[in-house]
Structure 1
Amino acid sequence: MQIEKLKEHFDNYFPLDSAEQEALNKLFSEKNIKRRHFVLEQGEVCKHFTFVVSGCLRMYAVDTHGKEHNLQFIPENDWATDLSSFYSEQPSQLFIQALEPSRVLQIRHDNVLYLYTKYHKFDHNFRVIFEQKYIESQNRTLQNISSSAEDRYQHFLRQYSNLSNRLSNVQIASYLGITPEFLSVIRRANAYK
């Protein structure tokens, strides 16, 4: 099982003792996701926190015209969930899809709550992770309303440096809120700098 990667991930925050590590072994399940298959589809209730061991997922929404809008990319050592659906237990408005064949570890809602109450270190670890995600989301919102497409692309390269060659122009352009053609112009201009 790929649980060692998850243990290493938690070591970046509040390292786990042997009892907490054993809880991970019992409560997380491993799953392989084929490319283009879904972890979550719109209308479903999000029932898991998903940790990406290998591969890459994307979280996106579809507008009333059927256009996809990438909200987040989730590469190795990162988390995917629709927090709103997960905690409210209401249908999600989002999709979470594998962009590459991916191996993930998942934990169900009731087991997350169990970890929070039985092992308080998990509550601390997840709080730090969610705070970081909230800050990322807040920064992205600020960029979308106040930065040029070029600046948003430069930030994307810094945030997802290991993904820029793994994602298509269409995926990156959707994330940046521009057309793939305009992204090509930006990439060409950056190649000559």
Structure 2
Amino acid sequence: MFNLLFKNISRYIDLSEEEFRQFSAPFQLKCFKKKEIVLKEGDYCLFEGFVLNGCFKIYYLNENGFEQTLYFAVEGWWITDIDSLLNDVPSILNIEALMDSEVLMISKKDKEELYAAMPQTEKLFRMMNQQSSVALQRRILSLTGKTADKRYIEFLAKYPRLEQKLTQQQVASYLGITHEFLSKIRKRISLEK
């Protein structure tokens, strides 16, 4: 169960087996059913979660009431609302399981205690937050500066094999387009092949 987590954090820091046992001790395994809400807009986010398997969508409702998907979290990704978690404000995000999923969850309190007990974990989470910032910057640049066709091609590269598991509406929400326009893009791309 913890092998994937160990592999993930080993990209950033080196931990002995004993140190990893100490690091992983506060994580709790949580299972979520398809369509189960992990975090609801207006609630306070008190956790970070590492996805062992399954898939989540992290989204918000825009001023017209339409879903705008920020990202999908698949195996090896983390889920949270970092603004709510760090600033103790109500979440504007929703996190929903798109299929039965398993997540290792750590509370904000336990994470802070890890920082005190294992100073190298601050480096770990700092480096992961930096990578997350880079990913979000790239996402913003893609949304604001690329055509829907290019965003769709990037989606396919970023999430291989995920498209078959998602509805057309979910993919369109991620791309910031209607599902009708997504159908046209798919048709155009298939004709070009």
TM-score when normalising by structure 1: 0.94
Cα RMSD (Å) of the superposition? 1.2
Letter matched to residue 118 of structure 1: A
The 1:151/1:62 distance shift into structure 2, 3 A limit, reads same
Letter matched to residue 114 of structure 1: E
Letter matched to residue 58 of structure 1: K
1:15 equivalent to 2:14? Answer yes
Letter matched to residue 101 of structure 1: D
Aligned equivalent of 1:107: 106
Aligned equivalent of 2:120: 121
SS of the residue corresponding to residue 164 of structure 2 reads coil
SS of the residue corresponding to residue 90 of structure 1 reads coil
**Unmatched segments (≥5 aa) in structure 1:** none
Aligned equivalent of 1:6: 5
Contact 2:30 2:104 in 1 (8 A): yes
Cα-to-partner distance string for 1:126-154 (whole Å, 9 max, x where unaligned): 12211111111101111111111001111
Aligned equivalent of 2:59: 60
Q: What aligned pairs does 1:1-193 form with structure 2 within 5 A after superposition?
A: 2-192=1-191, 193=193
Residues matched between the structures, number: 192
Offset of 1:4 from its aligned partner?
2.3
Offset of 1:191 from its aligned partner?
1.8
Any runs of at least 4 consecutive aligned residues in structure 1 with deviations exceeding 2 A, and if so which? none
Offset of 1:174 from its aligned partner?
0.5
Cα-to-partner distance string for 1:80-122 (whole Å, 9 max, x where unaligned): 1100000112110110000111000000001111112221221
How many angstroms apart in 2 are the aligned matches of 1:77 and 1:162?
A: 15
**Unmatched segments (≥5 aa) in structure 2:** none
TM-score when normalising by structure 2: 0.94
